[in-house]
Amino acid sequence: MGFYNLKIINSGDERVEVYYSKDYKIRTGEVKKNRGQARRYKTKEQVQYEKKKNKLTNLNNSRNKINRLIASNPDLDKFITLTYAESVKMEDSKKHLAYFFTKLRRKQEGLKYIWVLEFQGNGNIHYHILTNLKINIDTNRYRKSERHKEVEREFSDKYWKHGFVDIRDLKAEGNTNVAKYLTAYITKDMMDKEMNGKRIFGYSKGTMDKPIITKVLEEVKDQQELLKLFEEYDINFTNSYSIGSFGDKVNYFDMVKKENKK
């Protein structure tokens, strides 16, 4: 078990995230809690606040994970929405989704996908999917051609008999920030849903390229010296937060390759 003060997350070649603490060293591995510590009584309001805070943290973590997976897999260029013609139970919809991907994997070896669940205003379920599925559609950003609609009907008849499908080719439409298409559906509204342990998103485990995480001890004097280690990147977003018992700071940098910044 060692220590680190610099964590680097490389999501493909285009994006890198950096967490750095100048004066605080973080222990690697799991730190066990003191079981002998007395339990502190929490009021009902504190429990509700912590529950809400944890849900919001989980939503933000889900967004971050999706963003990193998308950046690590630039071949995800088809955006598919699965809808239901009638209301369906959550348990049944998850079975439908699993069978949908089973049939697609039979069609295409090396299939990649990320899916996100969405609730409509009336409570009905949608599934939004980003995938590398090879399917030819006559795509247009503003209006679908008759051939495009026919491809969607044929696809629905073969792979999704529960309602309707919408298929978009994001690269053909010129949409470069595909992450927004999925993370936009992970909203605070989901905090009010009782999911009973059901996942709000998932991805193909065996085919997706994963972000590379590096944890090291690095002696860096100041922020400018740190950023010199990443001169080929531009800063997209930066933040800082407290860590440890004495309020030490961790600085966070979200950066993209200079030639790829939009």
Specify the pLDDT at position 37. 45
Residue 145 vs residue 32, higher pLDDT: 145
Q: Which whole number is the average pLDDT over 116-141?
A: 85
Question: What pLDDT is recorded for position 19?
Answer: 93
Distances (CA, A) of 174 to 42, 75, 127: 52, 14, 23
84-119 pLDDT, tens per residue? 999 999 999 999 999 999 999 999 999 999 999 988
Let me know if 16 is exposed, middle or buried by CB neighbors in 10 A (0-12, 13-18, 19+).
Answer: buried
Q: What is the predicted pLDDT for the residue at 31? A: 44
b/e map 58-70, b = 16+ CB within 10 Å: ebeebbbebbbbb
Confidence grade of residue 23 (pLDDT, cut at 50, 70, 90): confident
> Mean pLDDT for the chain?
84
- Check residues 143 and 15 and name the one with the higher pLDDT: 15
Lowest-pLDDT range, 29-38, 48-57, 122-131, 193-202? 29-38
Q: How confident is the model at residue 29 (pLDDT cuts 50, 70, 90)?
A: low
Range scoring the smallest mean pLDDT among 18-32, 146-160, 219-233: 18-32
Residue 182 dihedral angles phi and psi, to the nearest 5°: -95, -50
Average pLDDT over every residue of 4-17: 93
